[in-house]
Amino acid sequence: MAQEGEQYGQGDPPSPFVQEWPERPLVSAAQPPEAPSSPEPAPGEPAHRRPADRLPRGIRHIAGALALVLLGAGIYFGIDRWIIGDGQQSAAPTGCAGQRLLRLAVAPEVVPLVEWAASDVDGATCPTVAITPLEPGQTGSILTGGKLDGMVPASSALLRLAPSPQASAGPSAASAAPASASPDVLLVDKAASLVRSPIVVAVPKPAAGAFGWPQRQAGWAELATATVGGKLRFSMGNPMRDAAGLLAMLSVHAAMGKTTPDQGIAQMRALTLRSRLADASADPAVLLQRLESLSDPAAAAKDIGAFPVTEQAVWAYQTKKPGISLAAIYPDGLMEADYPLVLAPAAASDRHFKDLATRLVERFHSGSFAATVREHGFRPVSDTMPTATPTNPPLADGLLARYPAAAATPSDPILVTSRAAQWARYERKEFQVLILLDASASMNDQVRDRSGSLTTKAALLRTAGVQAAELFGLDTSVGVWLFATPAPNIPPYVEAVSLGPLDAPLRGIPRREAVRRMAQSYTAYEKAGTPLYETVLRGVDAMRKLSKPGTVTMVVALTDGRDQDTAFAMPRTEFLSRLSTIRDPQRPVPVFCIGYGADADMAALNEISRATGGRAAASNDPADLASAMAQIFLAAHAAQ
């Protein structure tokens, strides 16, 4: 991770990773870039062949500003008018009648650049492109119906959420869906990217200082810990609609995946951050607008806090010289908005449109256009470097001139969609969880760990249990029972940790720490039977009595064997009958079972789970126990 940034503008030559910040304000989509005054065209020079320093030409305009496709009516207005160098509308040049425009839906923040580039495509003497702003949530359907020929969304990741006819990846590469992809998912090759902008975490500068900024960049794990602990207010956009929200969510998963080799645990760590978001459907543009109205940094940190957004949006905000100055944190697992040019199938097979798109991409990738890209707060694609190591403090406006190479955006549409949907649906809930842990003699059986070394199931459980203790959120009450019968005429279980809130003290320490210590000291009896059925019955009955509205109450049973060798043993039919009598549909207590090892009675565990509305999971490799527990917890949450 970058620890420092590079200051630009102190006599050093521009680096490919240097972002040059202009002195003039950012232009908007509704107001084309202001050009310096230029002499009139030389005699005989056509009006549409403007000098390079003039305003862009080649763009159809609606309402005197942009060429907007009226999607609802499918009508174009002003098709005989276009922009010339002095900003006035004029009739299209002679010979342009019947010219077919490349109709593009474009992310609003990049519209001015597409305007400019379209006016400079090689060989163009007539208007070439008609633009309509691409609104959030439109990516999946906007190319249907034939009203548009292509689009430039903020991120190719959005295309992997889109349930619409497959699009071609512009002129640079053909779209190719992986075997797991649905045929109606839009895919794009990164080669067609027009510009890029890293997804950063925007936070008022004083609040950023708590993370060591500007000397260092905080990572996602650190940001998540501060958020969960109530030290940082954090919001994100809905990943099903917002590009920054989607890329930040994927970045969180990537970063958490590096904190543990177990993907189940990594997923739970990512969703722990999700459960503590102040606003999980925030609009970054609205948050930036709200910040503009504030002047107290402390109030801004408390009321708005931190949120992921494109670096370009932070740049645009900072150029307005607002009262609240922002710092941009570049976290680990950083991803970039890549603004790909995507063609609809019909346009991709049309030589005229594909040629226009090719020249448009080439213009964006040209070295001469890089300065224009930077002047709008974006990073040129042509300046991408494999690595970059910052050496100096960050820029005065809170942005880094250099940052580490971005992580690759996942290409599997099933993975992207499932994670985005899970994140969008995830809700903060209170849980009451009773863990039933098998302590019978078979837990002392020898197994091999992932390295191939001999150990025991109990030893692996000690390690996995410590990890599992970190999976539960602060809104969880947890209790642990150990079940076994080492002697006749004793109860089927002992209470190892009493049920209560994780953040509440238990014998002088937090209950989470008590659970962790219990796991560390866990031992199985040398000789003991397995009273599985009786313990489940008593656990369900106890939790049913504690059930309350608005709280998910559940039992998690972990065993490596089957109900046997005790005075409490009973036929499965008797067990299921007794279970049905204590169940209360008004106060459900689902039982989630983990079959630990090859000897577990998965048939019985599946029946228990089905009868109570839970789920069973087999952990054939005992080393995967923590992952199995994570999946059980995820399933319990998703089922509500």
| C-alpha–C-alpha distance, residues 164 and 153, integer Å | 14
Whether residue 192 contacts residue 451, with contact meaning beta carbons closer than 8 Å, is answered with no
Give the confidence band of 390 by pLDDT, cuts at 50, 70, 90.
Answer: very low
Query: DSSP H helical segments within 230-350, as ranges?
Result: 243-257, 263-275, 284-292, 297-303, 311-318, 345-348
| C-alpha–C-alpha distance, residues 389 and 213, integer Å | 17
| C-alpha–C-alpha distance, residues 538 and 544, integer Å | 10
Which residues are CB-neighbours of 480 under 8 A, at least 6 positions away? 434, 435, 437, 495, 496, 497, 515, 518
Here the tokens at position 9 are 């503008």
Ranges of each domain in the chain: 429-638
pTM: 0.72
Mean pLDDT of 295-311: 96
pLDDT in tens, 160-216: 885 543 444 444 433 333 333 333 334 434 448 999 999 999 999 999 999 999 899
What was the pLDDT predicted at 34?
A: 39
| C-alpha–C-alpha distance, residues 176 and 582, integer Å | 54
Mean pLDDT of 541-570: 91
Whether residue 430 contacts residue 550, with contact meaning beta carbons closer than 8 Å, is answered with yes
Which residues are CB-neighbours of 491 under 8 A, at least 6 positions away? none
Least confident of 13-17, 30-34, 134-138, 360-364: 13-17
User: Maximum distance among all alpha carbons in the chain?
Assistant: 110
Taking Cα atoms as reference points, which of 373, 377, 362 lies closest to residue 113? 373
| C-alpha–C-alpha distance, residues 450 and 456, integer Å | 12
Mean pLDDT of 1-25: 32
CATH topology of domain 429-638: Rossmann fold (3.40.50)
pLDDT in tens, 39-80: 333 333 333 333 333 333 333 332 222 222 322 222 222 222
pLDDT in tens, 256-280: 999 887 777 788 889 889 988 999 9
